Structure 1
Amino acid sequence: MTSTEDSNPSLELEEKRYEFSGHLLKISTFRGTYLGVSAFVWEPGLVLCRYFENENIDFTGKKVLELGSGTGIVGILAVLLGGDVTLTDKAYVLKQIEYNVVANIPTTSRHRSKVRALAWGNDQGNFSSDFDFILGSDIVYNPPHFPGLLQTLLHLCNTKTTVYMSSNLKAREGAVNFHEELLPKQFNSELIHTSGNNYIYKVTKKAPHDEH
């Protein structure tokens, strides 16, 4: 990542280690102000990773997309659990994700990971709608982004897609409204796990005849 460091002389890498499902993850954050909230590993992501571990989730042979990957920790674990994973975020975050992909995914498995830009409400048309799983952790925190997020989810999902969303309902503006009012209009949503203020929902797209 020399080019990144050269273009951002104030960049500081901070590495923390986590272990899930027998995999040691070394996750670095680029602590430059230009990354904002993306330069942190947030608790909902760790809760989702622990859920995958506790439930023995296996993504082998499955096509997976992560929204708002940030550091990439959730998507990277999904690769290590066998998935063919596309990690997405805004373009300026991708170098951080790529750095962590290289640091954590063996070269023999790296062909099952892709890192691509996806701005909600704008770029979803560049992606297919045949994903088996969509992952999102701590992506529900800014109400002006909700329409674009919903538009993106509607495009990416088919009726067989399973979405795992992990959100901090009490600490994120609008999160309760999103999960209890906005999302259920077009998706079936089931609360499957809680840890403190963090809630994991299993979400599926409603079939046309199910929509009201």
Structure 2
Amino acid sequence: MTFAGHEEDLFPADDGLFADTFSEDSVYKFFGQEVKISQKFGANLGVAAPVWDAALQLCHFFEQQSFDLRGKRIIELGAGTGIVGILAALLGADVTLTDLPLAVPQLKANVSANMPITGWPSVTPTVLPLSWGQDQLSFPSNWDLVLGADIVYLTETYPLLLETLVHLSKNGAVVFLSSKMRKEHGTPGFYEENLPDRFHVDLVRCDVNQNINIYQASLRRDLKVK
């Protein structure tokens, strides 16, 4: 779950978040599909290293709602380990996973580790760097779904994220965002103020125990798209 901006600020080398460098391999199962995720804990990746609970919640949500992702064009923002997008690709979606450049090698490694013996059901997932508010115009706007898990926690990035979501959703994409609702980071404010400024927003799942909400959003057509 990473953001646009200066990478040295978002992935500080001496913050002590993960003082030791090590890998942890885990296997998750959704829709009968096993997703193998390697988490590279170390100073270089910081918050992009772990599988966050909000990502697992989004996977569970799609499973419980029996979402048919076959043939869907999907882009994931701040993909981190890539678990959400990789699951979608295993279910037949055409997926593009994005994050800051430092997280791209981890994403590519996890994509490679999950390639089925018979090949991907649709196409091989694409992994690309994307810094919000800077280079989203290099990406198309013809997505079916835009996904993000635990990417809303730095208030200075909220306008950049909103700008990126607007561009990606111009042609009718549905946005699903799963977030730990951290009041200290202003996360509720993004969903109560920033996102509704340009999107119709619905709360589709609320996990009180984990303090994680999932929101569905679509671009407001009563506003002129810039």
Q: TM-score, normalised by structure 1?
A: 0.90
Q: Residue in 2 aligned with 1:200? A: 214
Kindly tell me: are residues 76 and 182 of structure 1, through their superposed partners in 2, closer, same or farther at Cα, counting changes over 3 Å? same
Runs of 4+ in 1 over 3 A off after TM superposition: 208-211
Distance 2:38 2:74 in 1: 22
The match for 1:178 among 190, 195, 198 is 190
Give the alignment partner of residue 133 of structure 1, picking from 136, 145, 152: 145
Bigger helix share:
1
SS in 2 for 1:94: helix
Per the alignment, in what secondary structure is the counterpart of residue 33 of structure 1?
A: coil
Instruction: Work out which of the residue numbers 162, 184, 191 in structure 1 matches 2:174.
Output: 162
Question: Post-superposition shift, 1:111?
Answer: 3.0
Quote the residue 1:112 is aligned against. Answer: 124
Task: Letter of the 2:150 partner, please give it.
Answer: D
The yes-or-no answer on 1:38 pairing with 2:48 is yes
Q: Which structure 2 residue ranges, 5 or more long, are not aligned?
A: 1-19
Displacement of 1:170 in angstroms is 3.3
- TM-superposed CA distance for 1:112, in Å, is 3.4
Aligned residues: 202
Aligned Cα root-mean-square deviation (Å): 1.7
- For structure 1, the residue ranges without an aligned partner over 5 or more in a row are 1-9
Q: What secondary structure sits across from 1:14 in the alignment?
A: strand
**Cα deviation code 1:125-163 (max 9, x no counterpart):** 110000010000000000011111011111111252100
- Contact residue 135 and residue 164 of structure 1 kept, 8 A: yes
The question of 1:80 aligning with 2:90 is answered yes
Residue 198 of structure 2 contacts residue 223 of structure 2 at CA under 8 Å; is this kept in 1?
no
Deviations 1:61-87 (A, max 9, x none): 111000000000000011011110000
- Percentage of pairs with the same residue: 42
Alignment TM-score, normalising by the size of structure 2: 0.85
C-alpha separation between the residues in 2 aligned to 1:171 and 1:64? 29
